């Protein structure tokens, strides 16, 4: 057992790094969906925007200024994108979920294509900021320091989001809205403002995740789809609108994906789908989802 | 340009097109209505059959692709427009069919129509295996699950490179009839006729399914699943069966694609295909069967015909068209046909007919 | 075995702290015309849902034709011959009138095996046309449901329910919103149904109730108050005072504005929603 852990330590750590990133992505997607019934298929495209921003700023040299600048720009872009998405989906709010999903799909196509026009089809690597670009020794394995930092950031964000959700009035509002969507308007709160806020929050997380993930996964066309798919699987497994679900789903999928690739490279996709199928057969509403959604 | 249907062909196949609002018409025998509808359909097929005599090779090639992807769009319409199952991963079954036909052609026989028939079977089996899980779920869970199925199919195609050729794709031998390959001089025309024949058979089969009592039940499930339960139906069974059928027709289209394109690669099972096919449904009008073929014609022409002129950025144009269409064309071109003949109803319109009901 | 088609024993349904249907025992003989009356919030619609299976019981048993169907799904019960019309229209709005009836008619007969044979389809279509003629909608069969008037929709509901060839037909306020002519036509149609169809009807229009019913049950705040022949119910002082005395308004005088009645009203809302 100890040997097994030793042999696969790198894969396990990689799994945590992926899980960390997935949590940041999935929690936004999950809350946007749980509260607003908007399935935002442009979420992956927003990640891609963040990653390309990181590439653009860090290409001249991986300095802290550039890295933080990329984070700041990504956050601003995410805020704007959230507002735009909110405005664009509003006229369709009364239509079935498919219509809104298709709209965000169209937006995702446009964004991805514009990025392809600007950056072409090349695969880019992105450097980590100085001080974090080295490796450290973890139980005899050398491991990139930045990935450990990424795991730390993921855990930190998880704690912050958890605190916000459990201890603040905003969190209480979100939880109430996930449980009963009528609640928000019944409480006399402007539904549209909540929507802008929630979508902006989700979008900022997506673009920031793009910057944070850049030094690990680089950036390439098509990454948006991969990322969106993994985040969706996390959301389905974890349950819609649940922060705890997003965290545990992300950690599970991170490990399944990473260990799956290491141990069963041919079957990694099957393993992923198998995990998804298993959860849905046992708990159709996801591990921590509200029951009503599955009806 | 291809226009494989005249609006009147299917006036009775557009339940929510907003046309038949008034008119307490005396009951017309459905058989007679069917016969009347058959006339323009026959004309369209005849015109299409003579196309290679009039058009140059390039347009015929494009038309061939339109028919291939058009049949795929119709199979998706069976799910989305008729049954109200919004699948984001239907390309998975197209891909399964394409790889099956390709592998059959490589390892056994490229002789028509063996590869495409086996492709249809493989698509149906794939839908049988995955659909059980997908169809049990509702709403956004269905969206997500089908998306996952589609992505995993293309990932598999990429990873199983011993069999599929991975990202290089799988080269497929050209079609043969018996043991003879098509005459090189007329290869494009023969290929077109072969595709047209299978398209006509596939379309007719799907049309009959949608007009049958089974199809009526599917529309009932789309409009009000709970009510169907109280009428004694078990919606799950109907949805599962139509999911398998749609998978089979998607496989058939995929098989044709493999033989026509002579190269199958992982993107052919991917999300992009599902996405542009949904666009075709939005453009053409979901639930009409013929509308999506028109929508697919627009998509294929923009992407494959004008694509090179757009600097390879046809997808950008398609994305913009997509966004605009969702707003202004909730019933697609078929909806436009309805607007011409009927009063514009101020109901909340949606892409899938019947869903406005949910108030 | 008994000659009762429907037997309820101790049927109860609670919503949180509210009890919408409270320990109802009821036996409906084969072929009877049974009316269920009571003020708004008495639990009539909820009771129907418990019988059809669209809502599970909290406790108690539902026995249909000698079989315990308490745990049976709605569609299974429907296939055994329980059919209903709902208080809130549940027609297929984007379909034509004829197709709405066909949706039910094509499942029959045999309760399961549909057939793709043209002969069977024609039989279903003939049956649909016959039913539409019966309810007076024959000339509207090609119209979309969304184009029908309220009264016409109620008529169509009845046609759809009959197309299921039910053995037990539950009608929830079928005459609501109908003109006097339409509602007397409906009474005629229901009266002409063969004895093989057992009828349970919720109706506020007491003319309809007393024209049809062979027995009447009064429900109040989820509890069964009284069951008996129409004359007996009409003669009952409690019911008379409560019901007929107020000019056919569905009000019980004992607690016109009491909290318990308000509570009952909320129950109905929950039950319907």
Domain edges within chain C: 1-81+168-273, 91-165
* Residues of chain A neighbouring B141 (CB-CB closer than 8 A): 236, 280, 284, 293-294
* Minimum mean pLDDT range among A289-293, B153-157, B313-317, C134-138: A289-293
CB burial string C174-209: b at 16+ within 10 A, e below: bbbebeeebbebbbebbeebeeebbbbbbbbbbebb
* Residues of chain B neighbouring C116 (CB-CB closer than 8 A): 212-214
Overall average pLDDT of the A16-23 stretch: 91
- The answer on pLDDT for C113 being more than 90 is no
Architecture per CATH, domain C1-81+168-273, reads as: 3-Layer(aba) Sandwich (3.40)
Q: Look at residues C29, C79, C26 and name the one whose alpha carbon lies nearest to residue C52.
A: C79
CB B64 within 8 A of CB B195: yes
Q: Look at residues C114, C229, B348 and name the one whose alpha carbon lies nearest to residue A94.
A: B348
CB contact under 8 A, A103 and B326: yes
Which CA distances in Å does C59 have to A116, B68, B162, C71?
62, 57, 60, 11
ipTM for the assembly: 0.76
Where do runs of H (alpha helix) occur along C95-205? 97-105, 118-135, 150-163, 180-191
pLDDT higher for A136 or B253? B253
C-alpha span between B150 and B153 (Å, rounded) = 5
How far apart, in Å, do the first and last CA atoms of chain C sit? 36
CB contact under 8 A, B315 and A113: yes
C-alpha span between C138 and C13 (Å, rounded) = 40
C46 close to B (CB below 8 A): no
A8, two tokens: 């696969």
CB A293 within 8 A of CB A240: yes
C-alpha span between A99 and A92 (Å, rounded) = 7
Q: A184 pLDDT band (50/70/90 cuts)?
A: low
Overall average pLDDT of the A100-122 stretch: 88
> Which pLDDT value is given to residue B115?
93
The rounded radius of gyration (Å) of the Cα atoms in chain A is: 19
B350 close to C (CB below 8 A): no
* Minimum mean pLDDT range among A11-25, B187-201, B260-274, C77-91: C77-91
Pairs across A and B, CB distance < 8 A: 132
CB B342 within 8 A of CB B18: yes
C-alpha span between C27 and B143 (Å, rounded) = 46
> Which pLDDT value is given to residue A292?
46
Chains A and B touch (3+ CB pairs under 8 A): yes
Overall average pLDDT of the C168-190 stretch: 86
CB contact under 8 A, A106 and B144: no
The widest CA-to-CA distance across chain C, in whole angstroms, is: 60
* Residues of chain A neighbouring B323 (CB-CB closer than 8 A): 88, 103, 106-107, 110
The rounded radius of gyration (Å) of the Cα atoms in chain B is: 20
- The answer on pLDDT for B3 being more than 50 is no
SS3 at position C68:
strand
B34, two tokens: 């069917």
Quote the mean pLDDT of chain B: 81
Per residue in B104-145, pLDDT (tens digit) is 999 988 888 899 999 999 999 999 999 988 898 887 778 878
- The answer on pLDDT for B319 being more than 50 is yes
The beta-carbon neighbor of B216 closest among C52, C74, C106 is C106
Chains B and C touch (3+ CB pairs under 8 A): yes
Overall average pLDDT of the B48-70 stretch: 91
- The answer on pLDDT for C10 being more than 50 is yes
Q: Look at residues C23, C53, C18 and name the one whose alpha carbon lies nearest to residue C8.
A: C23
- The answer on pLDDT for C235 being more than 80 is no
Q: Which residues make Cβ contacts (< 8 Å) with residue C124, sequence separation at least 6? A: B213, C102, C105, C106, C108
Neighbours of chain A (3+ CB pairs under 8 A): B
Q: C255 pLDDT band (50/70/90 cuts)?
A: very low
How far apart, in Å, do the first and last CA atoms of chain B sit? 39
CB C186 within 8 A of CB C174: yes
Distance of residue B26 Cα from the nearest chain A Cα, in angstroms: 34
Does the pTM exceed 0.80?
yes
Q: Which residues make Cβ contacts (< 8 Å) with residue C160, sequence separation at least 6? A: B231, C85, C91, C100, C101, C103, C104
Interface of B with C in 186-225 (CB under 8 A): 212-214, 216-217, 219-220, 223-224
DSSP B55: S
Distance of residue A64 Cα from the nearest chain B Cα, in angstroms: 35
A188, two tokens: 């006399």
Angle formed by the axes of helices A223-238 and A43-58, to 10°?
130
C-alpha span between B126 and B97 (Å, rounded) = 9
Neighbours of chain B (3+ CB pairs under 8 A): A, C
> Which pLDDT value is given to residue B237?
93
C117 close to B (CB below 8 A): no
C-alpha span between C50 and C11 (Å, rounded) = 8
* Minimum mean pLDDT range among B180-184, C163-167, C188-192: B180-184
Percent of chain A whose predicted confidence (pLDDT) is above 90:
20
Interface of A with B in 135-194 (CB under 8 A): none
pLDDT higher for B300 or B166? B300
C-alpha span between B30 and C123 (Å, rounded) = 13
The dihedral sign for the CA sequence B326, B329, B333, B338 = positive
Chains A and C touch (3+ CB pairs under 8 A): no
A106 close to B (CB below 8 A): yes
> Which pLDDT value is given to residue A259?
87
> Which pLDDT value is given to residue B305?
76
Which CA distances in Å does C156 have to C129, C176, C195?
12, 13, 22
* Minimum mean pLDDT range among A237-251, B140-154, B234-248, B308-322: B308-322
Interface of B with A in 228-287 (CB under 8 A): 270-271, 275, 278-279, 282
CB contact under 8 A, B22 and C147: yes
A256 close to B (CB below 8 A): no
Question: Which of B147, B272, B283 is best to mutate for the A interface (most A CBs within 10 A)?
Answer: B147
- The answer on pLDDT for A203 being more than 60 is yes
Question: Which of C56, C103, C106, C133 is best to mutate for the B interface (most B CBs within 10 A)?
Answer: C103
- The answer on pLDDT for B312 being more than 90 is no
CB A225 within 8 A of CB B151: yes
CB A147 within 8 A of CB A216: yes
Q: Look at residues C211, C247, C242 and name the one whose alpha carbon lies nearest to residue C225.
A: C242
> Which pLDDT value is given to residue A143?
85
Q: Which residues make Cβ contacts (< 8 Å) with residue C254, sequence separation at least 6? A: C242
Residue C263 CB-density burial (10 A; 0-12 exposed, 13-18 middle, 19+ buried): middle
- The answer on pLDDT for C87 being more than 80 is no
- The answer on pLDDT for C246 being more than 80 is no
The dihedral sign for the CA sequence A99, A100, A101, A102 = positive
Overall average pLDDT of the A147-161 stretch: 90
CB A53 within 8 A of CB A255: no
* Minimum mean pLDDT range among A99-108, A185-194, B70-79: A185-194
C-alpha span between C99 and B181 (Å, rounded) = 49
B358 close to C (CB below 8 A): no
Distance of residue C90 Cα from the nearest chain B Cα, in angstroms: 7
How far apart, in Å, do the first and last CA atoms of chain A sit? 41
Q: B197 pLDDT band (50/70/90 cuts)?
A: very high
| Chain C residue nearest residue B220, CA to CA | C92
CB contact under 8 A, B133 and A268: no
* Minimum mean pLDDT range among A200-209, B1-10, B284-293, C55-64: B1-10
pLDDT higher for B270 or A104? A104
* Minimum mean pLDDT range among A144-148, B16-20, B196-200, B288-292: B16-20
State yes or no: cis peptide before C50, omega within 30 of 0.
no
The beta-carbon neighbor of A107 closest among B156, B323, B355 is B323
Overall average pLDDT of the B162-169 stretch: 85
> Which pLDDT value is given to residue B33?
55
A262 close to B (CB below 8 A): no
Q: C252 pLDDT band (50/70/90 cuts)?
A: very low
* Residues of chain A neighbouring B282 (CB-CB closer than 8 A): 102
């Amino acid at each position: 057992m100890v040997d097994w852990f030793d042999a696969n330590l790198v894969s396990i750590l990689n799994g945590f790094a992926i899980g960390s990133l997935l949590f940041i992505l999935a929690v936004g997607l999950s809350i946007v969906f749980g509260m607003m019934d908007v399935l935002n298929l442009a979420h992956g495209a927003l990640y891609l925007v963040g990653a390309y921003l990181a590439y653009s700023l860090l290409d001249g040299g991986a300095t802290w200024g550039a890295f933080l600048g990329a984070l700041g720009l990504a956050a601003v872009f995410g805020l704007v994108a959230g507002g735009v998405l909110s405005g664009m989906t509003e006229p369709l709010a009364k239509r079935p979920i498919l219509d809104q999903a298709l709209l965000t799909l169209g937006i995702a196509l446009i964004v991805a294509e514009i990025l392809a026009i600007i950056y072409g089809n090349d695969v880019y690597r992105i450097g980590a900021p100085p001080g974090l670009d080295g490796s450290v020794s973890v139980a005899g394995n050398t491991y990139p320091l930045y990935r450990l930092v990424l795991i730390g950031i993921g855990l930190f964000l998880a704690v912050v989001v958890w605190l916000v959700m459990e201890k603040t009035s905003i969190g209480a509002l979100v939880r109430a809205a996930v449980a009963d969507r009528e609640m928000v308007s019944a409480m006399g709160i402007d539904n549209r403002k909540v929507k802008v806020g929630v979508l902006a929050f989700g979008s900022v997380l997506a673009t920031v995740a793009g910057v944070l993930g850049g030094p690990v996964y680089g950036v390439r066309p098509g990454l948006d789809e991969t990322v969106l798919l993994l985040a969706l699987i996390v959301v389905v497994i974890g349950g819609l609108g649940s922060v705890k679900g997003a965290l545990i789903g992300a950690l599970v999928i991170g490990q399944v994906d990473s260990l799956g690739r290491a141990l069963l490279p041919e079957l990694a996709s099957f393993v992923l789908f198998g995990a998804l199928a298993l959860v849905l057969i046992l708990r159709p509403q996801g591990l921590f989802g509200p029951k009503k959604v599955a009806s | 340009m291809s226009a494989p249907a005249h609006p009147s062909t299917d006036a009775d196949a557009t339940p929510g097109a907003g046309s038949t609002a008034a008119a307490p018409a005396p009951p017309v025998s459905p058989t007679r209505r069917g016969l009347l509808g058959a006339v323009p359909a026959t004309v369209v097929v005849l015109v299409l059959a003579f196309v290679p005599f009039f058009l140059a090779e390039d347009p015929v090639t494009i038309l061939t692709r339109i028919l291939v992807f058009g049949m795929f769009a119709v199979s998706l319409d069976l799910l989305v427009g008729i049954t109200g199952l919004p699948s984001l991963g239907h390309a998975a079954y197209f891909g399964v069919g394409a790889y099956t036909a390709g592998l059959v052609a490589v390892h056994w026989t490229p002789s028509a129509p063996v590869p495409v028939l086996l492709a249809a079977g493989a698509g149906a089996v794939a839908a049988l295996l995955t659909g059980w899980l997908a169809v049990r779920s509702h709403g956004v869970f269905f969206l997500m699950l089908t998306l996952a199925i589609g992505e995993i199919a293309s990932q598999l195609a990429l990873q199983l490179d011993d069999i599929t050729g991975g990202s290089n794709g799988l080269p497929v031998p050209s079609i043969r009839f018996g043991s003879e390959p098509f005459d090189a001089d007329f290869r494009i025309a023969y290929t077109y006729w072969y595709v047209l024949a299978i398209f006509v058979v596939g379309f007719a089969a799907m049309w009959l399914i949608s007009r049958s009592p089974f199809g009526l039940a599917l529309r009932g499930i789309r409009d009000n699943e709970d009510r169907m339960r109280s009428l004694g139906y078990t919606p799950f069974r109907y949805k599962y069966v139509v999911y398998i059928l749609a998978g089979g027709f998607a496989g058939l289209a995929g098989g044709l694609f493999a033989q026509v394109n002579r190269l199958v690669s992982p993107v052919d099972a991917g999300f992009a295909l599902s996405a542009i096919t949904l666009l075709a449904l939005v453009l053409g009008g979901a639930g009409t069967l013929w509308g999506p073929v028109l929508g697919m014609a627009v998509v294929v022409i923009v992407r494959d015909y004008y694509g090179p002129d757009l600097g390879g950025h046809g997808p950008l144009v398609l994305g913009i068209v997509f966004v605009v269409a969702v707003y202004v064309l909730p019933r697609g071109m078929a909806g436009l046909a309805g607007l011409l003949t009927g009063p514009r109803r101020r109901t909340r319109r949606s892409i899938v007919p019947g869903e406005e009901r949910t108030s | 075995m008994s000659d009762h088609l429907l037997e309820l024993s101790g049927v109860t349904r609670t919503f949180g702290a509210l009890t919408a249907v409270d320990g109802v025992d009821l036996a409906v003989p084969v072929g009877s015309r049974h009316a269920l009356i009571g003020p708004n919030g008495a639990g009539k619609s909820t009771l129907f849902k418990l019988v059809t299976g669209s809502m599970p019981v909290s406790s108690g048993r539902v026995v249909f034709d000698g079989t315990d169907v308490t745990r049976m799904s709605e569609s299974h019960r429907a296939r055994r011959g329980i059919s209903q019309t709902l208080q809130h229209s549940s027609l297929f709005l984007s379909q034509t009138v004829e197709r709405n009836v066909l949706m039910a008619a094509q499942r029959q007969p045999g309760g399961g095996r549909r057939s793709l044979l043209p002969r069977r389809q024609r039989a279903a279509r003939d049956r649909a046309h016959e039913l539409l003629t019966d309810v007076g909608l024959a000339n509207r069969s090609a119209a979309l449901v969304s184009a029908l008037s309220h009264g016409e929709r109620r008529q169509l509901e009845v046609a759809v329910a009959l197309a299921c060839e039910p053995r037990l037909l539950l009608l929830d306020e079928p005459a609501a919103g109908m003109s006097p002519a339409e509602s007397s036509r409906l009474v005629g149609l229901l009266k002409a149904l063969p004895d093989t169809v057992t009828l349970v009807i919720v109706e506020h229009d007491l003319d309809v109730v007393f024209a049809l019913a062979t027995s009447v049950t009064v429900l109040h705040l989820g509890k069964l108050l009284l069951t008996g022949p129409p004359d007996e119910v009409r003669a009952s002082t409690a019911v008379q005072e409560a019901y007929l005395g107020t000019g056919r308004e569905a009000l019980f005088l004992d607690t016109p504005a009491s909290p318990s009645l308000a509570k009952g009203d909320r129950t109905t809302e929950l039950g319907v929603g």
